[in-house]
Structure 1
Amino acid sequence: MTQDTHVTGGSGMPSRRRFDRRTVLRGAALGAASPLLPATAATASAGGGDRGRGGPAAGSASFRWLGTAGWRIDVGERTVLFDPYLTRFPTGLFDGTFDPRTPLLSRPTAVDPHIGRAELVLVSHSHWDHLADVPHIAGTTGARVVGTETTYHLLVALGVDAGQISVVKGGEVLDFGGITVEVVPSLHSRNKKCSYFAPGTLNSPPATPPSTIGDLPEGDTLAFQVTAGTDGPSAFLMGASDFSERAVQGLRPDLAMIAVPAGTATHRYVPRLLSALDHPRVAVPVHWDNFEVPYGGSPERDPAMDLDAFVAEVQRVSPATRVVVPDYGTVYDGDLRPRNSATESTPR
């Protein structure tokens, strides 16, 4: 039987101090909640994610929301993951008892059914609800991981083959054999005090392997635009609810997966973002679900997020943009219309 894997380290006893949900990670996509696992199974070869397949056929892309900010994009038989976090275990974030000393954890039985044979994993930043399951995925699939220097140092400390990781800064346009990945400099969401959990970067390996969620600094934040083939669709992927307005101008994605803000620290977030993206055809709100309950069934909303107000604002400032509120388990086509039995939902 597969067991959960804990990462242990010298973090001492957990703190019992109570944290208020709205002061810990107030600011949209939050940077929160999840675990880490050193790579198990096979250590991937340096070229594991570069399989040299031909370019995909137009219209062959499909999309699945993995909850939180995560996505699975299938282009033909090829799979790209973005911020895949599926273990989803409690840290106290949603009941006011947030504990940054919560041990890192990854649960293969929660992850493996949803990731396919991933060949590429894109990581927006290094908080645990974005990085947590990446070591396990990298170790078992051989996928190439694309992320910041901080992400690189953390993953190597957690057992991922250094040659399997591509370090980026933002501005790169990478061709993975017909799947184009544009790396976009971005920003982490802010709380009402214009700060956020666990800031900081790493430019060298940590002294000891990370063992708690508090051991994972943000490490700068990226967004990505993924385009399937020469004709698209193109999807803009965010891991946090802030952005560099100048960096996203000119991207013009077909689909925009937009992190829902939990506050107003980012000035005119929705109007500025949609205008800079040139009013995408489809907007998909993400990072609005409670990611400390198991993945499956219907999403449970994060009570700090006003999803309905977000959707209403998108419709007000960009009336030609179709809003799709995603569901777990639904496979969407390249226009974000459901391919399977789950239905597109529209907030009331």
Structure 2
Amino acid sequence: MEKMKENKIELLLRKLTNFTACTIFLSFGTGCVLQSSGDLRYYESFFRHENQNTPIQYGKVRVTFLGTTSILIDDGETQILTDGFFTRPSLWKTAFSKIESDQEIIQSVLDKAKIHRLKGIFVCHSHYDHVMDAPFVAKATNAKLYGSSSTINVGIGAGLNKENLELFQVGKPVKLGKFSITVLESKHTPPFRIFGKTNATDPNFPNILSPLSQPVKAMDYIEGGTFDFLIQHGKHKILIKSSTNFITGAFDQINVDVLFLGIAQLSLQPVSFQETYYNQTVQKLKPSLVVPIHWDNFFLPLAKPLEPNLKLGDDFESNMNILLQRTSKDQIQVQLLQGFESIDLF
């Protein structure tokens, strides 16, 4: 009996110790790694804070930023969208439970952004923060979902009709109204590890091989290849690069007017990577305007003002400072957009 009593006391002490350790860890996390990795007030001069409510002039192209890498492009006749990730489940839900699209949130974004002439949704890769909502946006708007085989399986799992699904054909332009969209092969941001877990693709399971139906764990959304989008409208060109990585020489024969550039985790890479990334994107493409994307904390709702990524896995201020040092030297304009903010490009 005495032995059993000692064992119970020891077990209780162990539980209390573990609880205390968890409490200290969470307190540290809340005070540090779960804070924003930047203060947007330092970059206020790079925001125009314009909300375009006037009709789009004939021949003009308007873009609206909808967080992460979701970009609405509109010429007044045709709308196209990248990714369309609007649900943005919380960090805790994403980490510790299954996630699913929120139809009410999706519809509220469609209404607020006036997405009612959408013809195509182009998904850059099949992680949840890019593809999760895309099939439901396609359903709500009767737009076609374009993507890799992994994205197609997410669409099928969501019950999307085959007529509204189209597999990427790299290098072959897709004509939608006056837009021409060319899909280019790219690479995902280099893998990272947090709390012993990594987002690196398992080489034995590089794709989503069967229809994926929600709710599922975030890790069930496998990358399935990463892609950039070259969008031409008349004589003007836009390139959307959602992930912070490059294929050497991919843009040797391409110049654009505007570059939407993924900057997530740029400063966490070696200096040699940072320099090559800039050289292979901004310097090759020679844009007059660079718009940073994939900088915001996508665990927070789109209905509130966007905040920079968490310190847990990023450093927004260092990312921006790297970009601004180089673009300032090259006399290239940089502009940031808040959620639902629009600019007329041409």
Q: How far is the alpha carbon of 1:324 from its aligned partner?
A: 0.4
Give the match for residue 141 of structure 2.
141
CA offset digits 1:49-107 (Å, max 9, x no partner): xxxxxxx98741101100011101111221111111111111338xxx823x4222323
> Residues 69 and 307 of structure 1: is their aligned pair in 2 closer, same or farther, counting only changes over 3 Å?
same
CA deviations 1:248-295 (Å, max 9, x no partner) are 332211111111131206813542333553331111111111111111
Matched residue SS, 2:163: helix
1:231 aligned onto 2:235:
yes
**Structure 1 unpaired stretches of 5+:** 1-15, 24-55, 336-348
Q: How far did 1:203 drift?
A: 7.1
Aligned with residue 250 of structure 1, among 240, 249, 253: 253
Distance of aligned partners of 1:196 and 1:214 in 2 relative to their CA distance in 1, 3 Å threshold: closer
Is 1:249–1:276's contact at 8 Å kept on the other side of the alignment?
Answer: no
In the other structure, the counterpart of 1:301 is 308
What is the root-mean-square deviation in Å for CA atoms of aligned residues? 3.1
Say whether residues 1:104 and 2:108 are aligned partners.
Answer: no
Question: SS of the counterpart of 1:137?
Answer: helix
Within the candidate set 314, 338, 341, 1:327 is matched to 338
**Counterpart residue type for residue 98 of structure 2:** T
Q: Which moved more, 1:112-121 or 1:175-184?
A: 112-121
Q: Which residue number in structure 2 is paired with residue 219 of structure 1?
A: 224
Change (3 A) 1:106 1:277: farther
Distance 1:70 1:193, change over 3 A: same
Look at both structures and tell me which one has the larger radius of gyration over its CA atoms.
Answer: 2
Structure 1 residue 131: Cα displacement: 0.9
Which amino acid is the alignment partner of residue 103 of structure 1? I
- Greater helix proportion: 2
* Partner residue, 1:130: 130
Aligned residues: 280
Alignment of 1:1-348 (within 5 A): 59-92=59-92, 98-99=95-96, 101-109=97-105, 110-113=108-111, 114=113, 116-117=115-116, 118-192=118-192, 196-197=199-200, 199=202, 200-202=205-207, 204-206=209-211, 209-212=213-216, 213-228=218-233, 230-232=234-236, 234-262=237-265, 263-264=268-269, 267-268=273-274, 269-275=276-282, 277-304=284-311, 305-318=314-327, 319-334=330-345
Amino acid at match of 1:317: R
The structure-2 alpha-carbon separation of the partners of 1:271 and 1:322, relative to structure 1 and needing over 3 Å to count, comes to: same
How much has 1:130 moved relative to structure 2?
0.7
* Partner Cα distance (2:193, 2:252) in 1: 27
- 1-structure distance, mates of 2:226, 2:186: 5
Is the contact made by 2:179 and 2:231 (CA closer than 8 Å) also made in structure 1?
yes
Q: Which amino acid aligns with 1:165?
A: L
Tell me if structure 1 keeps the 8 A contact 2:229–2:241: yes
Structure-1-length-normalised TM-score: 0.71
> What percentage of aligned pairs have identical amino acids?
20
Q: Secondary structure at the match of 1:247?
A: coil
Deviates further, 292-301 or 258-267 = 258-267
When the two structures are superposed, what TM-score results if normalisation uses the length of structure 2? 0.72
Distance 1:59 1:102 in 2: 44
Q: Which amino acid aligns with 1:74?
A: D
Q: Is the 8 A contact 1:68 1:286 kept in 2?
A: yes
| Structure 1 residues 133 and 231, CA gap change in structure 2 (3 angstroms) | same
Change (3 A) 1:58 1:313: farther
Q: 1:290 to 1:161 in 2, by over 3 A?
A: same
1:13 maps to none
Q: Is the 8 A contact 1:108 1:136 kept in 2?
A: no
